[in-house]
Amino acid sequence: MSPGARPVRVRYAPSPTGDPHVGNIRTAIWAWLFARHTGGTFLVRLEDTDQTREVPGSLERILDALHWLGIDWDEGPDIGGPHAPYIQSQRLPGYRAAAERLLETRAAYRCFCTAERLAEMRKAQQAAGEPPGYDGLCRARPAEEAAARAAAGEAHVVRFAMRDEGRTAFEDLLRGEITVENRHFDDFVILKSDGFPTYHLAHVVDDEVMAISHITRGDEWLPSAPRHVRIFDALGYERPVFVHTPVILGPDGGKLSKRHGAKSVLEYAEDGYVPAALFNFLAILGWALDDKTELFTRERLVEVFDIAKVSVNPATFDTQKLEWMNGVYLREMPEAELTALFAERLERDLPPAVPRPVDRELVRALTPLVRERVKLLGEVTALVDFFFADDVPTPAAEEFLGSKRWRDDVAGAVAGLGASAATVEGVATWSAAAIEAAMRATAERLAVRAGDLFTLCRVAVTGKRVAPPLFESMEIVGREPVVRRLRAAAEALRATA
C-alpha cells in the first residue's frame, strides 16, 4: 500500500506507567508534524491494558507534557471524538469480540497451561539450549473441549496461532520490505485470563476501529511487527503503514537512560528549558531538512517535515547542543515574553522572605542584563537574587581577594571599597554611565587598575564574582543599598586584616 492511499490518521498511544520520556515524545512530535504537514488527524490514545504497571496520575502528566510542548490533538481521552473512548481499559468488549472471531476461524485457541507448567517448560528449554517460547501443547486441543472448559469457568488465556512455515513480509516506510521466517515466532497470548488484551491484540483492534493510516512507534517493536501483521490479516483488516523510528543513544553509545542525564519532558520544563527549544531539538534528532539548518519555528517544521526522511540510524542525545539551542531561543525571545518567564521563575525560586508577587518593573529592568548569559531559566535566580535582597551576605575574604593584587594588600582593598562608597554616594546623576565615569576616576586617583577595583565592588554589591554588568546592576540596586553594601564589605575585610 502506498503511503498516501488512505487519509493520514496517526496516534500517540502511551502507556500510563510514568512520565513520558524524550524518546517516546520524539515519536509523538514526528507523528504530530506528519499529521499537520499533510492536513491529517492526530489523536491520543491511552494504552492501559497492563493494569499492574499503571502509575496514578500518569495520564494527566502525559497530557500536561504534550500541552507544554504545544502539541494539540484532534481526538483523545480528554476531548472525545468519533471513536471514543480513547482509553483501552474502557474498550474491553471490542477486544473480546475480536478474540472470539479469531477463535471461530481457528486463528487463535484457548490455552489452559498453568504458570507452573509454563515455568517447567521454560526451564527444560533452557537446559536443552532451545529458544524460549510456548510449545503449542493446547493448540491441538479440540475447540469444542476448550470451549466447554472455558464455559465451566476454568482459567485460561487466548493465544494467536502463528504459522509454523513460510515467511511473513511487510512494508516499513523507512526500511522498505521486511521479511521474517515464521519459525522464529511462537504462539503468543492475545487475551489474558483476566479478560484484558495484550498490546498485540489491543492496538490492532483500535488501529482498525480508529482508521489509523500509519503506525509510528519505536523500533523496539520491530521484532513484534510480524505478529501484528498476522493479526491484521487474520481479522481481515487493512494493514496500516508501519513507521518504526530509531532509538536515541547516550553519548557512550548505549540506549539513552537516566545515567546519561536523560529526563522526562516535565523534568526538562522544571529545569528551565523552554518548550520551543525542546520541540525543535527533538524534531531534528534523527531527521534533517539539509546538512546545515538546525533552528526551526514550529510553523516551518510543519511546512517542511517529511516523515520518510527520518533516519533509520540511532541519534545521539547531545545535552550541550540542547542547552545551546535553549539559550538561542531565550536570547531571541521578545523581551516582554522573556521578562514574564523570568518573573515566573523568580516567583518560584527566590527565598520566601522576598515579597510576592515579585516586582515586575525590577524584573523588566534586569532582563536585558542577563538575557545573553542565560542558557536555562533555572540559572536566572542565582544570577539576580541580589537585586531582591536588602543586603547580600558578606562573602568570605578570599572571595574579595581572589586576585594576587588584593591578597598582598588587604588594607588597599579596604581603602578601595571605602573610597568607592564615598564616590557613588556623591554621584550627581544616578545612572550606569555616571557611576562608571566616577569609579574610573577613583581608580585613577588611587593608582589601581580599574578592573581590580571593579572586581572588589562587584563582589561587595552582588555577593558574587560572576554577576551581571556592574554599573547597570548598581543603578538598578539603588544608591543607598550600594553604599551600604560597599561599606559593609569594607568593614568585613578590615576585621580580617
Could you report the per-residue pLDDT of 13-45, keeping only the tens digit for each?
999 988 888 989 999 999 999 999 999 999 999
Task: Provide the CA 170 distance to its chain's centre, in angstroms.
Answer: 31
Task: Quote the CA–CA distance of 252 and 262 in Å, as a whole number.
Answer: 13
Global pTM?
0.91
**Nearest in space to 93 (alpha carbons), one of 12, 191, 160:** 191
DSSP 261: T
Is the CB of residue 103 less than 8 Å from the CB of residue 158?
yes
How much is the pLDDT for 400? 73
Separation CA 458–CA 468 (nearest Å) = 9
DSSP class of residue 341 equals H
The 10s digit of each residue's pLDDT in 209-227 is 999 999 999 999 999 999 9
Catalytic residues, which ones? 258
Burial degree of 324 (CB within 10 A; 0-12, 13-18, 19+):
middle
- In a 3-state reduction of DSSP, which class is residue 41? strand
* C-alpha cell recorded at residue 98: 475480536
Contact 366, 339 (CB under 8 A): no
Cell of 3: 503511503
Q: What is the pLDDT, as a whole number, of residue 261?
A: 62
DSSP string across 123-187:
HHHHHTTPPP----GGGGS-HHHHHHHHHTT---EEEE---SSSEEEEEETTTEEEEEEGGG---
Residue 408: all three cell numbers together: 598582598
Return d(Cα 195, Cα 218) in angstroms, integer: 27
Residue that the C-alpha cell 504530530 belongs to? 32
For residue 258, the model assigns a pLDDT of: 66
> Rounded CA gap, 420 and 455, in Å?
12
What pLDDT was estimated at residue 2? Answer: 46
**pLDDT for res 349:** 96
Which residues of the chain register pLDDT less than 50?
A: 1-3
**What is the phi/psi pair of residue 471, to 5°?**
-75, -35
